[in-house]
A = this chain, B = another copy of it.
């Protein structure tokens, strides 16, 4: 059993999510999480401040992965195409961790006190995208708008994927961005 370091942290995350799902978030103790992960409570507290922070940590990893993916898209790609490429590049990693995503989703849906996390998560991803879009030369207002709309579309793809074990996340992300082309047909007043 790993005693510390990244391997222990990963085990603690998985153990916590399993227990939150099995017993409910409120009913799970840190002692139980540590026991299932095969580490001491002291090791838990080396990695996480409390039960809630375990959920936060997964989100932080996703934010970092998204920022890295956005930075990796060549500067020549148009801004929204860069966002789509970055979102798609995250899909394989999320497919591998489907069980974690499912557990996290169920725990949050079943725990009213945690729902604010969903808001915070979407907001954090949106900020990462807006930063990248500004870095690609978009004016701030447009960058924030397109970031919020893009992450809303990503959220719809991810929710569909979490709810359907046979769904392909990458295909859903592509489908969402394809559907958004419909905005080109909206009649807007000429400036």
A residues lining the B interface (CB < 8 Å):
78-81, 84, 112, 115-116, 118-119, 141-142, 144-146, 148-149, 151-153, 155-156, 160, 174, 176-189, 191
Pick from B81, B112, B148, B187: contact of A152, CB below 8 A.
B148
A60 to B113, CA, bound (A): 22
Q: Given A148-B153, A152-B149, are A80 and B185 neighbors across the interface (CB < 8 Å)?
A: yes
Given A81-B187, A149-B149, 12 other A-B residues pairs in contact with their CB atoms under 8 A: A78-B185, A80-B182, A81-B185, A116-B119, A141-B160, A142-B179, A145-B156, A149-B156, A151-B152, A174-B188, A181-B184, A181-B188
Pick from B115, B116, B118, B177: contact of A183, CB below 8 A.
B177
In whole Å, how far is A171's beta carbon from the nearest beta carbon of chain B?
Answer: 9
Which of A81, A112, A116 has the most C-beta atoms of chain B within 10 angstroms of its own C-beta?
A116
Pick from B116, B119, B144, B183: contact of A184, CB below 8 A.
B183
Q: Which residues of B contact A146 (CB under 8 A)?
A: 179-180, 182
Q: Which residues of B contact A182 (CB under 8 A)?
A: 79-80, 146
Q: Are B179 and A186 touching (Cβ within 8 A)?
A: no
Q: Which residues of B contact A180 (CB under 8 A)?
A: 145-146, 149, 180, 183, 186
Closest B residue to A141 using CB positions: B160
Closest B residue to A180 using CB positions: B183
In whole Å, how far is A126's beta carbon from the nearest beta carbon of chain B?
Answer: 9
